């Protein structure tokens, strides 16, 4: 028995794509700033935008908008260098270990297992505590590194 190489013709009417009710229009994407034909440009290309209320005509040209985003460095359980948001000085943070959720969770878990003398161990280990980063100049708490959120 020989197999056919072509599938049988569809007996229904031809499929017309323009009559489909949920047809999605293709989206035109704009290129990312700084990338031109796959080559990185060190100077960012300024993007312009204009905010116009519906039904209102704007007579002025589009306004260039610049947005500055400050990202805090990834401080963990060791002192780190950063700019203090309060006194605006570049400092190396001072750290202090404080009891946090992980400390109390380990204590509670050991208590449930009826290991009473060991319940206090997490309160003496810095690796179980949260770390509080503060500015050495103005003494304001800058960041709290939590072991468990």
Distance separating alpha carbons of residues 119 and 96, to the nearest angstrom: 22
Check residue 18 and give its pLDDT.
59
Percent residues over pLDDT 70 in the chain? 54
Tell me the chain's radius of gyration from C-alpha atoms: 31
Asked whether residue 41 carries a pLDDT value surpassing 50, the answer given is no
Angle at 30 between CA 27 and CA 36, to 5 degrees: 140
What mean pLDDT comes out for the span 37-66? Answer: 55
Residue 6 lies in a domain: no
Tokens, residue 117: 């003398």
Across 58-84, average pLDDT: 75
- Whether residue 121 contacts residue 131, with contact meaning beta carbons closer than 8 Å, is answered with no
Any domain includes 57: no
Residue 82 falls within a domain, yes or no? yes
Structure confidence at residue 3 as a pLDDT band (50, 70, 90): low
Q: pLDDT at position 1, please?
A: 57
The CA-atom distances, in angstroms, between 137 and each of 22, 65, 76, 85, 90 are 62, 35, 20, 12, 10
Asked if residue 64 belongs to a domain, the reply is no
Residue 83 lies in a domain: yes
Distance CA 66, CA 47 (A): 8
Q: What is the dihedral of CA 50, 52, 54, 59, to 10 degrees?
A: -110
pLDDT over 70 (residue 39): no
Mean pLDDT of 57-81: 72
Identify whether 141 is part of a domain.
Answer: yes
Q: Return mean pLDDT, the chain.
A: 76
Contacts of 47 (CB under 8 A, 6+ apart): 33, 64, 65
- Which structural domain range is residue 86 located in? 78-149
Task: Identify whether 42 is part of a domain.
Answer: no
Residue 53 lies in a domain: no
Q: What is the pLDDT of residues 74-133, one digit of tens each?
A: 788 899 999 999 999 999 999 999 999 999 999 999 999 998 889 999 999 999 999 999
Specify the number of domains making up the chain.
1
Residue 108 token pair: 């509670």
């Amino acid at each position: 028995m020989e197999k056919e190489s072509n599938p049988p013709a569809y007996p229904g009417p031809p499929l017309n794509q323009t009559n489909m009710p949920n047809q999605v229009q293709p989206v035109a994407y704009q290129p990312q700033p700084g990338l031109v034909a796959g080559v990185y440009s060190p100077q960012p290309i300024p993007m312009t935008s204009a905010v116009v209320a519906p039904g209102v005509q704007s007579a002025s040209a589009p306004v260039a908008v610049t947005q500055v985003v400050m990202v805090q460095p990834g401080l963990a359980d060791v002192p780190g260098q950063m700019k203090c948001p309060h006194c605006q000085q570049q400092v190396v943070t001072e750290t202090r270990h404080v009891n946090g959720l992980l400390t109390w969770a380990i204590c509670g878990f050991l208590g449930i297992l009826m290991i009473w003398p060991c319940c206090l161990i997490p309160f003496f280990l810095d690796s179980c505590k949260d770390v509080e980063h503060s500015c050495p100049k103005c003494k304001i708490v800058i960041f709290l590194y939590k072991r468990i959120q």
